[in-house]
A and B are shown apart, each in its own frame.
Chain A
Amino acid sequence: MKKPAYLLLFPGALFLAVFMVVPIATIILSTFANDGSVSLAGYTSFFTDSYTLGILGTTLKISLISTLICILLGYPTAYYISRTSVSRRGIYLALAIFPLLTSAIVRSFSWMVTLGKTGLINTLLLQLHVIDKPLQILYTETSIIIGMVHLFLPLMIISLIGVMENIDGDLMQAAASLGASRFKAFVKVVLPLSIPGLLVGSTLVLVGSLTAYATPQLLGGKKRVLATLLFQNTMTLNDWKAASIIATIMIAITFLLIGVMNALAKKLNPNG
């Protein structure tokens, strides 16, 4: 008799259950416990404290801006790569993915060297007399965003190329033969057909930058985001309950975002 195929899932599922589902459930449950009774006190204080709310806002803002920049930079790049010949595409794709092969920490350090007061950009601008005192770029939201875009742009490009490659070249020619200029054909055919890739890429970048730790820690200076606030609560303040609440909120936001993206994907599904 044939054994049910789902048994193949068992080892992986067991591993995830023991080392992921149980710990996360424990963390989430612990945030509702208050001296033996169930309470939402931790959450009310998080959502009423202007300091933590500010950090939540900063985190969302940085993630959204990073995602937007990734779309703006990644879309034309991906479109160009997807239209080149197969052999060239491989080379371009490898180049696009290349940054992923370096650790986020190493990359953040290189940005510190580049953006700092005596860094490459400030030195250059000073010598060209464009500015007369160094710009504060490092340790601002801007530097975090730069780091995030650098970190996540490859994900956006890969997601987009995956979808764009499968857009039949005949479609553009068909549109042209029906009277569409290149621009019109792009807007009416390529854009709607690449939306699934855009949504997948945006989800990856958004969730990635919402939860990134190393980049904001190294490039953000005193600027806090949720991930660094969480770290501060555990390691510096030893407030594990507050940290668990932040963790739970981050999980909730992530699921919410994925849900919204899925709903959008369903609504905008190019195949009806």
Chain B
Amino acid sequence: MKTQMEPTRVTSQELLARIENHLKYSRGSSLSSASDVDKLWCLCHAVRDFSIDRMIATQKTYLEKDSKCVFYLSLEFLIGRLLSNNVISLGLQDAVAKVLPKLVPDADGLLALKQDAGLGNGGLGRLAACFLDSLATLEYPGYGYGLRYEHGMFRQDFADGWQTERPDDWLKFGYPWEIVRPDDTVPVLVYGQLEDVGVPGAQPVWVNWQMIEGVPYDIPIIGYGVNNVNALRLWQSRAAEGFRLDVFNKGDYVRAVEEKNWAETITKVLYPSENSHAGKELRLLQEYFLVACSVRDATRRHLKRHKDLTNFASKNALQMNDTHPSLAVAELMRLLVDEHDLPWEKAWGITVQTLGYTNHTLLPEALERWPVALLERVLPRHLSIIYEINLRFLDDVRFLYPGDDAKVRTLSLIEEEPVKQVRMANLAIVGSHSVNGVAKLHSDLVKSQLVPDFARLWPERFNNKTNGVTQRRWLLACNPDLARLITEAIGDRWIRDLDDLRRLEPLAKDTAFLDRFRAVKLANKQRLAAVVLARTGKDIRLDSLYDVQVKRLHEYKRQLLNALHIAALYRRLKANPEMDMVPRTFIFGAKAAPGYHMAKLIIKFINSLGEILERDPDVRGRLDVVFLPDYNVSLAEVIIPAADLSEQISTAGKEASGTGNMKLTLNGALTIGTWDGANIEIAEAVGLDNFFVCGHRAEEIERMTREHSYQPSEWLARDPELKGVVDAIWRGDFNQGEPGLFDDIGRIFTEWGDCYYHCADFRSYVEAQERVSDLFRDRHAWARTALLNVARIGYFSSDRAIREYAEEIWHLKPVPVAMKSLPDNSKT
């Protein structure tokens, strides 16, 4: 019985035979006549086949051992493409490499057809995907629950420098990794009222609801080097049987179909922003739909092994990724009390012990609040449960703080004014035994600024779990040359234990090794330059410093600060064309929420800057700006290995953690960053001498905000270069003949108070950039510093993060899966 996975002994002939089998029997085609899409689909399907025995064995093992499981509830799972990772995890690299040329002459072209599963916006969704990878690899029983959005994150194009959006039809050709499970379909009730039907002693009945159904689709999550194959279960909505049949029967076929379609719209589209969906009824339905399907599924699994739910908390953990799934508190209570007849106190104990809540933001607009009137209409029973939870909770608060009405108002689940709303973060905190932030600073700010009264009430509930990224995707798969170099030097243990990268440190003094390290970076820059040329037509210099900022476009992330620096460098060069300047290529990748005017204007501003630089012979080739459209996981996998400099310049106190900072460091980029989020821990890990710190600290920003002492005009007056840039924006230097185009950007600094503190941090940032340039001039010293960054980044593996969650929040133990023999499906 093997618990460590043996390499899957699949020959290329066996793999090819399986592909041909799928071409014939799944697609009705053949190797000679199939389209490239068909071939790719069948390659994926063939690879998936090799995980199925392990997946079945994993489920059987967890069930037989009655293992405690974690269910990770997230509205987003940004899994990107799975082929490369799955091939690596299953040890099929050699077979695939040999088969690809037999499928098509251009293997890269075939692989480029892969569609990203864009089921998320940014950090929060990508974190969830990394966590699933680590759960499986560390042999933890863990499942993801999410939604199968028909349209994931929108596709971004640029038209005259402006962002335009079009739908992402990622399911257009089907999705070979998923397995539909119609037997596990669950009903979900929404809308209606509670009605007292006049039965003595009976509670009001939920009437006049609409029923929709959740159909699960499972995506195997294949652990690396182990037999464990967990699953990501995505729910798709559909109309229940009999949906509006009365309308059908009255002959209004079109209206009936429209209403049927309404049920299906719940999982039609991903909301294109991590923040702020205030009042959006469909979003509320999405959140409840996920929760209702998932909680029922988790309890159904439990009841396979147990007669009731009284020990549910000892066998199951539900982690809420941000407040989006926080209706789980009310739903689990409803299920325990209404459907399983548990007394309220007993049900409440189970609920709190089962649930954990991860906070991801301090931004006020991202703290969800749902109007009571909306909840009452959509989820009447849940609102009554929330009221009951609040009543009992506030009784405790009044007992602890007699006469302190202000405390009661702050802690209440209900915000009374100006509109009566349910505070979902409060609900999540009250209903969970653990509340964690995602970096040390962020967790401290959650306690000190976001919910200080809760932190004083239940200090034991609050904890930190600094984020991490999976090295299997963010080094092994996306940067194979660097992975190979590292493995040659220290072996491959780092793939499962990233701390092992420490053993690279002595090589920072090894000139020959550093030369190879630089050669890998150069090769990755060549790969990126080819992509840039193909997508934008720009030919970028390989010897320039690749200065990279890739992340969602949001003012607090301060892409605009980066742009101000570019504009300042441009003006310096125009004033002194002969000056010595390190050539730089500024590379951006970012999507703006479609309704976020300023974010879209910043994209236009950066693109305009890029055009001006490109047209100007004084700067061409010395300063380049590339804004790659449609930034997604796959593009990140090309950009990140090529980056020299990682821009992590959020306003201090605003970024919860960031994970791009970790990925870029892991791939040998140096960081210029504010003292914010996980930057702080990264800087401490790699050493302050190896990290370019800039900007004000969170406590300084907080003090200026609290005292209303920040006057951007004073900073402008003190800094002629900054003033010159802002004047140039107002003058229209970057407008390209469209007067007033960027006035709103000018207003940020001169009229709107610069609430993200660009002016305050500009000089510090520019000086840090000068230190960057100085170091880059010494390519050897740069490489040495970059290698030290790689060697010291091991802590930021999602394996470490998941181990902390498992041990400290979920109380989960690894469950190795034994296999009697290699999978039968290794033979076709």
Partners in one complex: no
